Amino acid sequence: METGAHEQDDETTEQAESRMIHLTKREVEVLTLVIEGKSSKEVAEHIYISKRTVDYHLANIYKKLDVTNRVQAFREATRRNLLPVSGVFGIAL
């Protein structure tokens, strides 16, 4: 039974970590577009900001999630439930 209690503690820890990390609405928007396969330049054109601003948002996302690239950012944000499923996969819920 101790195993069950330990698993429950792990879930609580993950939930607490997810609450501590917050992606802004713009960071979620940028990451969602990147996940769709858009380059930084394409993201910039799509949401009417500069490429430099997109790269700034990506750097903030990487720092918050403690990752170094787009794939890791997607995996970590998904693991922490930081991305809306409908936004990422175009699914209407």
pLDDT digits (tens, 9 = 90+) for 4-13: 555 555 656 6
Task: Provide the pLDDT confidence category of residue 93 given band limits of 50, 70 and 90.
Answer: very low
pLDDT digits (tens, 9 = 90+) for 17-52: 656 899 999 999 999 999 999 999 999 999 999 999
**In this structure, CATH architecture of domain 2-85:** 3-Layer(aba) Sandwich (3.40)
Distance between CA atoms of 12 and 45, rounded to whole angstroms? 40
DSSP letters, 5-74, are HHHHHHHHHHHHHHHH----HHHHHHHHHHHTT--HHHHHHHHT--HHHHHHHHHHHHHHHT-SSHHHHH
Residue 81 has pLDDT above 80, yes or no: yes
Question: Are the C-beta atoms of residues 1 and 11 closer than 8 Å to each other?
Answer: no
Task: Provide the pLDDT confidence category of residue 58 given band limits of 50, 70 and 90.
Answer: very high
pLDDT of residue 24: 97
